[in-house]
């Protein structure tokens, strides 16, 4: 082990080192070429999703799925939610086709076990349950998040999403520049929340929100879950945000991880205790921040509820990719969403009035409805230009006709779909 004495082997960071590293790793600029998606699913009883799946049954099923030869990365969330993360794909269709094949394999493995995957932003039927995964990370996370109430535990164990991953963008100005894409992600975020809201029930009761998952995020530790201001220079703003957010945990080789209270990463760098942090600690710290848009070289858009049906997840991935990566659509959509900035006000996402309206009202909000219609129109025009196949274009067009034009969202049909 190096003489630094850190359990994970790296030399201690200085504050300047940390700032330089963050500026380098969080926005990797270049022409947008790749797309990825992370799909989280609730695992339910196949015959009756209202029946609880006991932890031993769930654990056995997860072991079965782990044996599958998948292309996507397979992981599990603390409550047993299944997650498939695509590899960075060179096109939208490569991403969708790869994930679809892996999903078919997973569903085929779960079916004989009497289980299935369901896509809702939060579990509609089941009361809060304990964690399936007993790992130091999740022990520490639960301790830290419990300090601000029960929303953290619900987020860990009962929520599911569709996350879209896109390249940060070009270094210069214009519709594909990373400054513009960073800002566009934050302005488009409420539109995606509203259009794809799919969690009006939690634990067997109506909550008053169309996206209860998004409501949970507003109740998390505000420093950990809020976004830095998208108006500033992205690298500088994100660097300051990361360093000034409290550390969730200090990892250790043995025993439980420390869960300090109020110790920012900048404080940790300056104090050097309880042990000096290294570069790997900084990278790990980033994974414990949960803003709606998280830069990790690429941009992770994390605000979309999991979607119902076999292929419903494809629609938010396709729409978001089209309006980010097609220059004409990106310019059109930026003009369409720009007026939303005034309504959002100076408060950070997801707690500002615009994001709250999106989660509570969905497309029943007239302004969000009007903007969403423009966004979908631009996406439908752009999909052929980015090589989307006919089945994807048809799925987006069907969603547009079913929800966007009349001003509704999947949450509004929840009772009909689940009865």
Distance separating alpha carbons of residues 133 and 401, to the nearest angstrom: 41
- Which element (helix H / strand E) includes 155? helix 151-158
Quote the pLDDT of residue 6. Answer: 45
* Cα gap 300→74, rounded to integer Å: 18
Widest pairwise Cα distance in the chain = 65
pLDDT value, residue 311: 95
pLDDT tens column, 234-280: 999 999 999 999 999 999 988 899 999 999 999 999 999 889 999 99
Q: Give the tokens for residue 210.
A: 């169309």
Other beta carbons less than 10 A from residue 137's beta carbon = 16
Q: Residue 314: in which H helix or E strand, if any?
A: helix 314-325
Would you give per-residue pLDDT tens digits along the chain (419 residues)?
A: 233 344 555 789 999 999 999 999 999 999 999 999 999 999 999 999 999 898 899 989 999 999 999 999 999 999 999 999 999 999 999 999 999 999 999 999 999 999 999 999 999 998 766 788 889 999 999 999 999 888 988 999 999 999 999 999 999 888 899 999 999 999 999 999 999 999 999 989 999 999 999 999 999 888 888 888 777 789 999 999 999 999 999 999 888 999 999 999 999 999 998 899 999 999 999 999 999 999 999 999 999 999 999 999 999 999 999 999 999 999 999 999 999 988 988 888 899 999 999 999 999 999 999 999 999 999 999 999 999 999 999 999 999 999 999 999 999 998 765 54
Question: Closest Cα to residue 109, out of 69, 51, 75?
Answer: 69
pTM here is 0.95
Q: How far apart are CA 139 and CA 205, in angstroms?
A: 28
Whole-number CA gyration radius for the chain? 21
What is the predicted pLDDT for the residue at 172? 83
Check if the beta carbon of residue 339 is closer than 8 Å to that of residue 279: no
Helix, strand and coil in the chain, % to nearest 5: 50, 15, 40
- What per-residue confidence (pLDDT) applies to 174? 87
164 neighbors 317 (Cβ within 8 angstroms): yes
Distance CA 237, CA 244 (A): 11
Task: Indicate the burial class of 167 (C-beta count within 10 angstroms; 0-12, 13-18, 19 or more).
Answer: buried
The residue among 293, 291, 196, 289 whose CA lies nearest residue 243 is: 289
CB under 8 Å to 48, separation ≥6 — which residues?
A: none
Q: Tell me the pLDDT tens digit for each residue of 36-73.
A: 999 999 999 999 999 989 889 998 999 999 999 999 99
Q: Is the peptide bond before 239 cis (omega within 30 degrees of 0)?
A: no
**How confident is the model at residue 128, as a pLDDT?**
66
Contacts of 226 (CB under 8 A, 6+ apart): 291, 348, 349, 350, 351
Domains and CATH numbers, the chain: 35-230+289-404 (3.30.590.20)
Instruction: Give the C-alpha separation, 358 to 365, whole Å.
Output: 7
Q: Would you call 161 exposed, middle or buried from its count of C-beta atoms within 10 A (0-12, 13-18, 19+)?
A: buried
Residue 385 DSSP code: T
What pLDDT is attached to residue 5?
A: 40
Rounded Cα gap, residues 215 and 186, in angstroms: 17
CA angle 293, 299, 303 (to 5 degrees): 35
Give me the sign of the Cα torsion angle 408, 303, 123, 43. positive
**Measured distance CA(286)–CA(353) in Å, rounded:** 26
């Amino acid at each position: 082990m190096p003489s630094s004495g850190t359990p994970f082997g790296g030399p201690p960071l200085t504050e300047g080192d940390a700032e330089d590293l963050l500026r380098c790793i969080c926005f990797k600029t270049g022409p947008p070429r790749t797309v990825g998606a992370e799909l989280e699913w609730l695992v339910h009883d196949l015959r009756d999703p209202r029946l609880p799946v006991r932890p031993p049954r769930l654990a056995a099923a997860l072991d079965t799925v782990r044996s599958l030869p998948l292309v996507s990365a397979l992981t599990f969330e603390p409550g047993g939610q299944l997650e498939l993360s695509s590899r960075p794909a060179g096109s939208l269709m490569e991403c969708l086709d790869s994930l679809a094949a892996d999903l078919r394999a997973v569903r085929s493995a779960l079916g004989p076990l009497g289980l299935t995957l369901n896509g809702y932003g939060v579990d509609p039927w089941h009361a809060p349950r304990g964690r399936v995964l007993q790992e130091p990370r999740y022990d520490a996370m639960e301790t830290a998040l419990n300090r601000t109430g029960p929303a953290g535990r619900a987020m860990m164990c009962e929520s599911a999403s569709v996350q879209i991953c896109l390249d940060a963008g070009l270094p210069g100005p214009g519709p594909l520049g990373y400054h513009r894409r960073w800002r566009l992600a934050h302005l488009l975020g409420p539109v995606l929340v509203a259009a794809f809201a799919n969690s009006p029930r939690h634990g067997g009761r109506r909550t008053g929100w169309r996206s209860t998952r998004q409501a949970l995020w507003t109740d998390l530790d505000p420093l950990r879950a809020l976004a830095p201001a998208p108006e500033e220079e992205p690298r500088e703003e994100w660097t300051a945000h990361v360093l000034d957010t409290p550390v969730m945990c200090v990892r250790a080789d043995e025993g439980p991880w420390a869960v300090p209270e109020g110790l920012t990463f900048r404080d940790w760098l300056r104090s050097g205790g309880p042990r000096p942090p290294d570069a790997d600690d900084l990278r790990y710290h980033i994974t414990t921040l949960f803003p709606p848009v998280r830069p990790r070289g690429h941009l992770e858009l994390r605000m979309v509820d999991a979607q119902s049906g076999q292929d419903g997840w494809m629609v938010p991935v396709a729409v978001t990719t089209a309006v980010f990566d097609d220059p004409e659509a990106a310019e059109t959509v930026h003009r369409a969403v720009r007026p939303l900035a005034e309504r959002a006000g100076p408060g950070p996402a997801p707690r500002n009035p615009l994001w709250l309206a999106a989660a509570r009202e969905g497309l029943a909000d007239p302004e969000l409805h009007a903007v969403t219609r423009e966004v979908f129109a631009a996406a439908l025009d752009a999909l052929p230009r980015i090589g989307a196949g006919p089945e994807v274009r048809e799925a987006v067009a069907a969603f547009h006709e079913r929800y966007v034009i009349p001003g509704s969202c999947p949450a509004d049909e929840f009772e009909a779909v689940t009865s």
